[in-house]
């Protein structure tokens, strides 16, 4: 059972852990009820108001690129909310992003001494994107947090192949066509390292999440809306 450390306000739960990881020896949850300087991927800022913002700390790395998105979609499923994973780890409901994940590691020399899994979920429903999801309004941040942490702890016991199989069940992009360098590719899915595999005319292209932003890949977020209509 992971211990929870609850803060009224932090700049960023990821940055807090980057500063203080040495004082935590066991996996734990850092929950900030308010975050003033949240960060997203590719140095974007993450505005969260009263939304759920927390980071999980692990002294040794976990396959977080699978565990983190899966723990969120499985937690939502427990509340009868169907969500999808958009590679690498955005969570979407009815085509709208409701959760972002920022996974970071701290190295001392060549060894990873801290894995920080930052998760932000839009629980306050400001955008109206979740208006049709009746259960959502009843989901207080701490209730959802508990469900996500429980799911993460359960999934930690899975083998990697099992996690990959589960990821594929929720994968929004699999089978979709994507434009990259003016060429249309078909998404095969993710490989065991969490890279996205694209295929066309006998050519396999493997994209790492650090190297590619899907915004850059599509030029727009239309794919979600398209998928919504299908
Ligand atoms: C993204 O979609 O770009 C990732 C967003 C990650 C936001 C979370 S909120 C909790 C944790 N602390 C941060 O500063 N960022 C992550």
Q: What radius of gyration do the chain's Cα atoms show?
A: 17
| Span from the CA of 145 to the centroid of ligand 1 (angstroms) | 15
| Span from the CA of 118 to the centroid of ligand 1 (angstroms) | 5
Q: Which two tokens stand for residue 208?
A: 């790492």
Model confidence band, residue 133 (pLDDT cutoffs 50, 70, 90): low
Taking only the tens place, the pLDDT of each residue in 100-130 is 999 999 999 999 999 999 999 988 765 545 5
d(CA 181, CA 48): 34
d(CA 142, CA 140): 6
Residues 175-186 have a mean pLDDT of 88
The pLDDT of residue 229 is 27
b (16+ CB within 10 A) / e for 33-50: bebeebbebeeeebebee
Q: Measured from the CA of 11, which atom of ligand 1 is nearest?
A: 14
* pLDDT of 147 over the 80 cut: yes
Write down the mean pLDDT value for the chain: 87
Please say whether the beta carbons of 133 and 98 come within 8 A.
Answer: no
The pLDDT of residue 169 is 95
Q: Provide, rounded to the nearest whole percent, the portion of the chain with pLDDT above 70.
A: 85
Please name the residue whose Cα sits nearest to atom 7 of ligand 1.
120
d(CA 189, CA 199): 10
Answer with the residue of higher pLDDT: 221 or 79.
Answer: 79
The pLDDT of residue 148 is 98
Please say whether the beta carbons of 210 and 107 come within 8 A.
Answer: no
Taking only the tens place, the pLDDT of each residue in 31-57 is 999 999 999 998 899 998 889 999 999
* Order of all β-strands in the sheet with 3-10: 3-10, 28-35, 52-58, 111-121, 96-108, 90-93, 84-86
Please say whether the beta carbons of 38 and 46 come within 8 A.
Answer: yes
- Report the SS3 class of residue 145: helix
d(CA 216, CA 156): 32
Answer with the residue of higher pLDDT: 228 or 22.
Answer: 22
* pLDDT of 210 over the 60 cut: yes
| Span from the CA of 12 to the centroid of ligand 1 (angstroms) | 8
d(CA 203, CA 197): 10
Calculate the CA 217 to chain-centre distance.
Answer: 19
Q: For Cα atoms 44, 47, 53, give the angle at the middle one, nearest 5 degrees.
A: 105
The pLDDT of residue 225 is 40
The pLDDT of residue 48 is 86
Residues 81-85 have a mean pLDDT of 92
Q: Measured from the CA of 44, which atom of ligand 1 is nearest?
A: 3
């Amino acid at each position: 059972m992971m211990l929870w450390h609850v803060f009224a306000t932090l700049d960023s739960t990821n940055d807090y852990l980057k500063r203080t990881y040495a004082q935590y020896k066991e996996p734990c949850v850092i929950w900030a009820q308010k975050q003033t300087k949240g960060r997203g991927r590719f140095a974007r800022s993450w505005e969260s108001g009263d939304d759920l913002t927390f980071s999980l700390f692990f002294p040794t790395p976990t396959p977080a690129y699978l565990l983190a998105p899966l723990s969120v979609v499985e937690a939502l499923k427990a509340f009868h909310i169907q969500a999808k994973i958009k590679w690498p780890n955005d969570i979407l409901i009815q085509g709208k992003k409701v959760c972002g994940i920022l996974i970071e590691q701290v190295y001392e020399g060549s060894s990873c001494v801290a894995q920080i899994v930052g998760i932000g979920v839009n629980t306050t429903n400001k955008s109206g994107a979740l208006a049709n999801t009746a259960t959502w309004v009843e989901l207080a941040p701490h209730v959802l947090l508990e469900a996500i942490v429980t799911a993460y702890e359960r999934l930690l016991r899975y083998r990697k192949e099992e996690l990959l199989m589960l990821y594929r069940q929720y994968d929004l992009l699999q089978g979709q066509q994507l434009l990259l360098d003016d060429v249309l590719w078909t998404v095969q899915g993710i490989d065991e390292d969490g890279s996205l595999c694209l295929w066309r005319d006998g050519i396999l292209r493997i994209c790492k999440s650090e190297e590619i932003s899907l915004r850059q890949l599509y030029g727009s977020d239309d794919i979600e809306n398209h998928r919504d209509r299908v």
